[in-house]
């Protein structure tokens, strides 16, 4: 069948993403995996990546040119609107195009997506096995239920992600990493229970974390070395370091197969504190930076977030990273429900003391599928008016009862040691303008 996949990730950046921040150059692993599976059984797969196009007329043009029989649309909550617009345009080009939606948002809120007049099927959870079966049923005109629960595939049996699907090259997360840069996923799911995220991930990937075997990941890296001669890479896994044995086996094998290129991955303060020997080993294998969710410098807030870490661990983990020469990308949030100004300032002070290589702040955003989202809705706190407001970037008020003018200053303060005064002022101005614009919209 002719299958066209749609990546609608333009909510934060708009069409023509050439000038957008680096991470918006990254491929989408969900669609690449579906593409590899569909191509393996003979389907003709193409992609419409909204980031590459100039506007909706181009989307119409592409659909008319590609003439898909099935349109497979992925979406995070933030991309609901462009995803649904792409579906609408497809149906207006040809009513017979079967539109299938999947990804984080349809897995978390299947009813909302299934209610869309232009959506024929919604796949909840992982798509590889289920999408193929659905394509077969569509081809043979066998009726299916509108909302289909995806099966969890055995990851080692899947073909490697189809990287040719996304035409543009991935940019390194930081400039110190050389190109070609690639992104890799070693597993799915997360064992942790942070209230700002879960149970969303369990809804997509199930309760258990499943990881590819070390051999399978190394084989993919081997292919990427041959094909692209990658010079650095990033693991997208939510918490790669949670499985110490896996990491140690990976580091040994990475070196044994003569890989020397630097890599970055996410970790947690508690894991780093408990596994300093693993940090040392990872550094020796090529670890250049950890992305760490420090989240807050206040213990009450960390507990409220169910982070499972302490402020003391945050400091200790930072010291361990510095000792071993591992750069820190520090993720932290300001403006959580119930957070006081003094508690927010604890976070500012923590970041100033830790002095991460990259401070990466966010205004707390209630994401659908998380317990904190439900908390905000139940307590009438959410200021989210459209799906595009789900962007976590610190550019608009997210919940009631928070002094965003103060937070904006706190945010600039937290980064002061890292950005020039001129840049800080510019950031300040942009954020202020966006907040004003947002408030005008909702008042
Ligand atoms: C890498 C990543 C990113 C990258 C995305 C790169 C890219 N081009 O895709 C970057 C850093 C840019 C990013 C940004 C954001 N992200 Co993000 N990201 C992730 C992360 C860590 C991995 C995604 C991934 O590749 N997963 C592995 C693949 C295989 O899974 P998958 O994409 O879900 O696909 C499977 C199924 O969902 C399904 N499926 C997917 N699409 C389709 C389509 C069809 C037709 C079918 C049948 C099935 C199907 O089948 C796939 C294979 O099994 C996830 C967490 C996670 N572990 O998944 C968060 C996650 C997806 N991100 C999230 C969020 C909130 C964001 C941001 C909004 C944060 C922000 N900055 O404000 C932005 C939004 C970006 C945008 N679209 O504008 C949330 C989404 C929650 C939600 N309610 O939507 C997640 C789940 C993290 C979390 N738990 O909070 N992110």
Ligand 1 centre to CA of 312 (Å) is: 31
Q: Bridge-partner residues for 333, per DSSP?
A: 362
Reply yes or no on whether the pLDDT at 20 is more than 80.
no
User: Which ligand 1 atom is the nearest neighbour of the CA of 123?
Assistant: 47
Region at 193 (left for phi over 0; alpha for psi -120 to 50; beta for the rest): alpha
pTM: 0.94
245/243 Cα distance (integer angstroms): 6
Q: How confident is the model over 158-163, as a mean pLDDT?
A: 98
Ligand 1 centre to CA of 77 (Å) is: 9
Helix (H, G, I), strand (E, B) or coil at 93: helix
pLDDT band at 242 (very low <50, low <70, confident <90, very high): very high
What pLDDT, on a 0 to 100 scale, did the predictor assign at position 22? 81
Q: Does ligand 1 lie within 6 Å of residue 411's CB atom?
A: no
Reply yes or no on whether the pLDDT at 419 is more than 70.
no
427 vs 338: which has the higher pLDDT: 338
- Give the residue ranges of DSSP H helices in 229-297: 244-256, 269-274, 276-285
Q: How confident is the model over 184-212, as a mean pLDDT?
A: 97
Domains and CATH numbers, the chain: 2-155 (3.40.50.280), 169-442 (3.80.30.20)
What pLDDT, on a 0 to 100 scale, did the predictor assign at position 184? 98
Reply yes or no on whether the pLDDT at 265 is more than 90.
yes
Ligand 1 centre to CA of 104 (Å) is: 6
Per-residue model confidence as pLDDT tens digits over 46-74: 999 999 999 999 999 999 999 999 999 99
Q: Does ligand 1 lie within 6 Å of residue 395's CB atom?
A: no
Q: Name which residue sits closest to atom 13 of ligand 1, judged by CA.
A: 23
pLDDT band at 442 (very low <50, low <70, confident <90, very high): very low
Percentage, residues of the chain above pLDDT 90 = 86
What pLDDT, on a 0 to 100 scale, did the predictor assign at position 255? 97
Helix (H, G, I), strand (E, B) or coil at 437: helix
Q: Does ligand 1 lie within 6 Å of residue 173's CB atom?
A: no
Q: Name which residue sits closest to atom 39 of ligand 1, judged by CA.
A: 103
222 vs 438: which has the higher pLDDT: 222
Q: Bridge-partner residues for 102, per DSSP?
A: 74
Percentage, residues of the chain above pLDDT 70 = 92
Q: How confident is the model over 112-118, as a mean pLDDT?
A: 98
Ligand 1 centre to CA of 402 (Å) is: 28
Q: Does ligand 1 lie within 6 Å of residue 236's CB atom?
A: yes
What pLDDT, on a 0 to 100 scale, did the predictor assign at position 24? 82
What pLDDT, on a 0 to 100 scale, did the predictor assign at position 56? 98
What pLDDT, on a 0 to 100 scale, did the predictor assign at position 388? 85
Residue 401 is classified by DSSP as T
Q: Name which residue sits closest to atom 77 of ligand 1, judged by CA.
A: 9
Q: Does ligand 1 lie within 6 Å of residue 36's CB atom?
A: no
User: Which ligand 1 atom is the nearest neighbour of the CA of 12?
Assistant: 78
Reply yes or no on whether the pLDDT at 289 is more than 50.
yes
What pLDDT, on a 0 to 100 scale, did the predictor assign at position 167? 82
Ligand 1 centre to CA of 5 (Å) is: 15
Q: How confident is the model over 5-15, as a mean pLDDT?
A: 92
The separation between CA 256 and the C-alpha centre of its own chain, rounded to angstroms, equals: 31
What pLDDT, on a 0 to 100 scale, did the predictor assign at position 236? 97
Which among 111, 2, 127 is positioned nearest to 74, based on CA atoms?
127
Q: Does ligand 1 lie within 6 Å of residue 390's CB atom?
A: yes
Q: Does ligand 1 lie within 6 Å of residue 240's CB atom?
A: no
Q: Name which residue sits closest to atom 10 of ligand 1, judged by CA.
A: 23
Which among 211, 157, 221 is positioned nearest to 188, based on CA atoms?
211
Reply yes or no on whether the pLDDT at 418 is more than 90.
no
User: Which ligand 1 atom is the nearest neighbour of the CA of 28?
Assistant: 9
Contacts of residue 403, Cβ cutoff 8 Å, sequence gap at least 6? 341
Q: What would the DSSP string read from start to end of 355-396? A: --SEEEEEE----TTBHHHHHHHHTT-B---SGGGG--STTS
How far is CA 191 from each of CA 58, 73, 199, 210, 279, rounded to the nearest angstrom?
41, 28, 10, 10, 20
pLDDT band at 374 (very low <50, low <70, confident <90, very high): very high
């Amino acid at each position: 069948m002719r299958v066209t996949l749609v990546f609608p990730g333009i909510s934060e950046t708009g069409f023509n993403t050439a000038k957008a921040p680096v991470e918006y150059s990254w491929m989408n692993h969900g669609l690449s995996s579906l593409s590899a599976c569909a191509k393996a059984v003979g389907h003709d797969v193409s992609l419409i990546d909204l980031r590459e196009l100039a506007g909706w007329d181009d989307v119409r043009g592409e659909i008319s040119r590609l003439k898909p029989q099935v349109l497979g649309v992925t979406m995070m909550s933030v991309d609901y609107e462009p995803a649904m617009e792409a579906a609408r345009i497809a149906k207006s080009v040809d009513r017979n195009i079967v539109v299938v939606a999947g990804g984080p948002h349809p897995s978390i809120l299947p009813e909302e997506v299934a209610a869309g007049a232009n959506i024929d099927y919604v796949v909840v959870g992982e798509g590889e096995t289920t999408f193929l079966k659905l394509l077969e049923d569509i081809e043979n005109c066998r009726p299916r239920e509108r909302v289909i629960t995806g099966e969890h595939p055995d990851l080692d049996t899947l073909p490697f992600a189809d990287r040719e699907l996304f035409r543009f090259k991935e940019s390194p997360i930081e400039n110190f990493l050389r190109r070609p840069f690639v992104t890799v996923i070693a597993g799915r799911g997360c064992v942790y229970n942070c209230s700002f995220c879960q149970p969303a991930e369990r809804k997509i990937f199930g309760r258990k974390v499943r990881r590819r075997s070390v051999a399978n990941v190394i084989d993919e890296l081997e292919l990427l070395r041959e094909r692209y001669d990658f010079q650095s890479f990033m693991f997208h896994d939510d918490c790669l370091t949670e499985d110490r044995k896996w990491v140690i086996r990976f580091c040994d094998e990475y070196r044994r197969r003569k890989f020397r290129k630097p890599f970055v991955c996410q970790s947690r303060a508690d894991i780093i504190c408990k596994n300093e020997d693993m940090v040392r080993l990872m550094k020796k294998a090529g670890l250049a930076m950890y992305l760490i969710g420090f989240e807050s410098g206040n213990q009450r807030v960390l507990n409220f977030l169910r982070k499972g870490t302490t402020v003391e661990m945050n400091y200790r983990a930072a010291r361990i990273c510095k000792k071993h020469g591992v750069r820190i990308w520090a993720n932290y949030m300001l403006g959580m429900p119930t957070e006081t100004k003094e508690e927010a300032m604890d976070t500012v002070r923590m970041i100033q003391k830790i002095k991460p290589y990259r401070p990466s702040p966010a205004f707390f955003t209630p994401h659908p599928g998380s317990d904190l989202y439900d908390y905000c809705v139940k307590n009438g706190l959410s200021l989210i008016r459209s799906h595009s407001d789900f962007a976590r970037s610190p550019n608009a008020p997210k919940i009631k009862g928070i002094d965003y003018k103060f937070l904006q200053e706190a945010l600039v303060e937290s980064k002061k040691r890292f950005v020039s005064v001129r840049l800080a002022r510019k950031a300040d101005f942009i954020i202020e303008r966006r907040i004003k614009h947002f408030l005008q919209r909702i008042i």
